[in-house]
Structure 1
Amino acid sequence: MRKKLQEMLTFPCYFTYKIIGLSRPELIDQIIRVVQLCIPGDYIPQVKSSNKGNYLSVSITICAKNFEQIEQLYNEISQISMVRMVF
Protein backbone atom coordinates (compact mmCIF):
# COMPACT_ATOMS: atom_id res chain seq x y z
CA MET A 1 0.00 0.00 0.00
CA ARG A 2 2.82 2.39 0.89
CA LYS A 3 4.59 1.92 -2.44
CA LYS A 4 1.35 2.37 -4.38
CA LEU A 5 0.59 5.62 -2.54
CA GLN A 6 4.12 6.88 -3.17
CA GLU A 7 3.75 6.18 -6.89
CA MET A 8 0.44 8.05 -7.08
CA LEU A 9 1.69 11.26 -5.49
CA THR A 10 3.78 14.00 -7.10
CA PHE A 11 5.44 16.38 -4.66
CA PRO A 12 4.80 18.95 -3.47
CA CYS A 13 1.13 18.01 -3.14
CA TYR A 14 -1.92 18.61 -1.00
CA PHE A 15 -2.84 15.70 1.23
CA THR A 16 -5.95 15.43 3.40
CA TYR A 17 -6.08 13.44 6.61
CA LYS A 18 -9.41 12.34 8.02
CA ILE A 19 -9.28 11.78 11.75
CA ILE A 20 -11.94 10.18 13.94
CA GLY A 21 -11.66 10.95 17.63
CA LEU A 22 -13.56 11.43 20.84
CA SER A 23 -15.87 14.43 20.89
CA ARG A 24 -13.85 16.70 23.16
CA PRO A 25 -13.04 20.38 22.53
CA GLU A 26 -9.30 19.83 23.01
CA LEU A 27 -9.13 17.20 20.22
CA ILE A 28 -9.07 19.80 17.45
CA ASP A 29 -6.48 21.92 19.28
CA GLN A 30 -4.22 18.89 19.75
CA ILE A 31 -4.48 17.89 16.09
CA ILE A 32 -3.63 21.42 14.93
CA ARG A 33 -0.72 21.61 17.39
CA VAL A 34 0.78 18.36 16.05
CA VAL A 35 0.32 19.46 12.43
CA GLN A 36 1.90 22.85 13.18
CA LEU A 37 4.96 21.19 14.70
CA CYS A 38 5.50 18.98 11.64
CA ILE A 39 4.44 21.36 8.87
CA PRO A 40 3.91 24.96 10.01
CA GLY A 41 1.06 26.82 8.32
CA ASP A 42 -2.47 28.10 8.70
CA TYR A 43 -4.93 25.25 9.07
CA ILE A 44 -8.70 25.35 9.21
CA PRO A 45 -9.97 21.81 9.77
CA GLN A 46 -13.44 20.73 8.77
CA VAL A 47 -15.24 19.19 11.73
CA LYS A 48 -18.38 17.04 11.81
CA SER A 49 -20.02 15.42 14.80
CA SER A 50 -21.32 11.84 14.81
CA ASN A 51 -25.06 11.19 15.06
CA LYS A 52 -24.92 10.52 18.79
CA GLY A 53 -22.29 13.20 19.41
CA ASN A 54 -19.71 10.79 20.83
CA TYR A 55 -17.14 11.28 18.06
CA LEU A 56 -15.78 14.00 15.81
CA SER A 57 -14.63 13.61 12.24
CA VAL A 58 -11.82 16.09 11.52
CA SER A 59 -10.46 16.64 8.01
CA ILE A 60 -7.27 18.64 7.66
CA THR A 61 -5.30 19.32 4.47
CA ILE A 62 -1.55 19.87 4.37
CA CYS A 63 0.95 20.67 1.64
CA ALA A 64 3.54 17.91 1.79
CA LYS A 65 7.01 18.27 0.31
CA ASN A 66 7.75 14.53 0.42
CA PHE A 67 6.28 11.20 1.40
CA GLU A 68 8.20 11.15 4.68
CA GLN A 69 6.23 14.18 5.88
CA ILE A 70 2.97 12.36 5.18
CA GLU A 71 4.13 9.30 7.12
CA GLN A 72 5.54 11.29 10.02
CA LEU A 73 2.39 13.31 10.46
CA TYR A 74 0.22 10.18 10.24
CA ASN A 75 2.26 8.61 13.04
CA GLU A 76 2.20 11.77 15.18
CA ILE A 77 -1.57 12.24 14.84
CA SER A 78 -2.12 8.55 15.66
CA GLN A 79 -0.34 9.09 19.01
CA ILE A 80 -2.96 11.59 20.25
CA SER A 81 -4.84 9.74 23.00
CA MET A 82 -8.33 10.86 21.89
CA VAL A 83 -7.76 9.79 18.26
CA ARG A 84 -9.38 6.51 17.27
CA MET A 85 -8.60 6.37 13.52
CA VAL A 86 -6.52 8.25 10.97
CA PHE A 87 -6.89 7.79 7.24
Structure 2
Amino acid sequence: MSETLLEFPCDFPLKVMGRKDPGFRELVVAMVEAHAGPVPENHVRLRDSRDGNFVALTVIVHARTQAQLDAIYTDLSAHDRVLMVL
Protein backbone atom coordinates (compact mmCIF):
# COMPACT_ATOMS: atom_id res chain seq x y z
CA MET A 1 0.00 0.00 0.00
CA SER A 2 1.48 3.33 -1.02
CA GLU A 3 1.32 6.23 1.38
CA THR A 4 -0.03 9.62 0.45
CA LEU A 5 -0.55 12.85 2.35
CA LEU A 6 -3.75 13.52 0.42
CA GLU A 7 -7.19 12.59 1.65
CA PHE A 8 -9.51 11.45 -1.11
CA PRO A 9 -11.71 12.63 -2.63
CA CYS A 10 -10.09 16.04 -3.01
CA ASP A 11 -9.68 18.89 -5.48
CA PHE A 12 -6.12 18.73 -6.79
CA PRO A 13 -4.43 21.36 -9.00
CA LEU A 14 -2.45 19.98 -11.93
CA LYS A 15 -0.11 22.34 -13.74
CA VAL A 16 0.59 21.33 -17.32
CA MET A 17 3.11 23.18 -19.46
CA GLY A 18 3.50 23.12 -23.21
CA ARG A 19 4.15 25.21 -26.27
CA LYS A 20 1.50 27.79 -27.09
CA ASP A 21 -0.20 25.82 -29.85
CA PRO A 22 -3.80 25.90 -31.05
CA GLY A 23 -5.84 23.29 -29.24
CA PHE A 24 -3.39 22.68 -26.37
CA ARG A 25 -5.93 23.67 -23.74
CA GLU A 26 -8.61 21.44 -25.27
CA LEU A 27 -6.16 18.53 -25.53
CA VAL A 28 -5.18 18.73 -21.86
CA VAL A 29 -8.75 19.13 -20.63
CA ALA A 30 -9.89 16.15 -22.74
CA MET A 31 -7.08 13.99 -21.35
CA VAL A 32 -7.98 14.93 -17.77
CA GLU A 33 -11.69 14.39 -18.41
CA ALA A 34 -10.98 10.89 -19.74
CA HIS A 35 -9.97 9.97 -16.18
CA ALA A 36 -11.89 12.41 -13.99
CA GLY A 37 -15.10 13.25 -15.83
CA PRO A 38 -16.23 16.75 -16.80
CA VAL A 39 -14.03 19.63 -15.64
CA PRO A 40 -15.98 22.85 -14.99
CA GLU A 41 -14.80 25.83 -17.03
CA ASN A 42 -13.89 27.75 -13.85
CA HIS A 43 -11.47 24.93 -12.89
CA VAL A 44 -9.17 25.70 -15.84
CA ARG A 45 -6.71 28.61 -15.88
CA LEU A 46 -4.32 29.47 -18.67
CA ARG A 47 -1.23 31.65 -18.37
CA ASP A 48 1.12 32.56 -21.20
CA SER A 49 4.86 32.74 -20.67
CA ARG A 50 6.54 36.12 -20.75
CA ASP A 51 7.75 35.64 -24.34
CA GLY A 52 4.45 34.09 -25.46
CA ASN A 53 5.93 30.82 -26.75
CA PHE A 54 4.76 28.61 -23.88
CA VAL A 55 1.64 28.21 -21.80
CA ALA A 56 0.96 26.98 -18.27
CA LEU A 57 -2.43 25.41 -17.80
CA THR A 58 -3.75 24.76 -14.30
CA VAL A 59 -6.61 22.25 -14.11
CA ILE A 60 -8.35 21.58 -10.80
CA VAL A 61 -9.17 17.87 -10.80
CA HIS A 62 -11.71 16.32 -8.45
CA ALA A 63 -9.55 13.29 -7.62
CA ARG A 64 -11.12 10.19 -6.14
CA THR A 65 -7.96 8.10 -5.68
CA GLN A 66 -4.18 8.27 -5.90
CA ALA A 67 -4.33 5.75 -8.75
CA GLN A 68 -6.56 8.13 -10.71
CA LEU A 69 -4.08 11.00 -10.25
CA ASP A 70 -1.19 8.71 -11.22
CA ALA A 71 -3.00 7.69 -14.42
CA ILE A 72 -3.63 11.34 -15.35
CA TYR A 73 0.05 12.22 -14.73
CA THR A 74 1.20 9.21 -16.76
CA ASP A 75 -0.98 10.02 -19.76
CA LEU A 76 -0.17 13.73 -19.76
CA SER A 77 3.57 13.14 -19.30
CA ALA A 78 3.63 10.69 -22.21
CA HIS A 79 2.03 13.10 -24.68
CA ASP A 80 4.48 14.76 -27.06
CA ARG A 81 2.78 18.18 -26.79
CA VAL A 82 3.15 18.26 -23.01
CA LEU A 83 6.54 19.51 -21.80
CA MET A 84 6.01 19.15 -18.05
CA VAL A 85 3.36 18.15 -15.51
CA LEU A 86 3.49 19.31 -11.89
- Provide the TM-score with structure 2 as the length reference: 0.89
Query: Tell me, which stretches of 5 or more residues in structure 1 are unaligned?
Result: none
Q: Which moved more, 1:63-72 or 1:74-83?
A: 74-83
Which 4+ stretches in 1 moved above 2 angstroms? none
**Which of the residues 37, 41, 57 maps onto 2:38?**
41
For residue 43 of structure 1, what is the amino acid of its counterpart?
P
Query: Tell me, which stretches of 5 or more residues in structure 2 are unaligned?
Result: none
Distance 1:9 1:70 in 2: 11
The 5-angstrom pairing of residues 4-83 of structure 1 reads 6=4, 8-44=5-41, 45-83=44-82
Distance 1:69 1:14 in 2: 12
Distance 1:39 1:57 in 2: 20
Percent identity of paired positions between Structure 1 and Structure 2: 23
Distance 1:43 1:82 in 2: 23
Q: Superposition RMSD on alpha carbons, in Å?
A: 1.3
Asked if the contact 2:77–2:85 (Cα under 8 Å) also holds between the matched residues in 1, the reply is yes
Say how many residue pairs are matched.
83
Distance 1:43 1:26 in 2: 17
The structure with the largest helix share of the pair is 1
- Provide the TM-score with structure 1 as the length reference: 0.88
Asked if the contact 1:43–1:60 (Cα under 8 Å) also holds between the matched residues in 2, the reply is no
- TM-superposition CA deviations, 1:2-32 (whole Å, max 9, x none): 74xx1x1111111110011010121111101
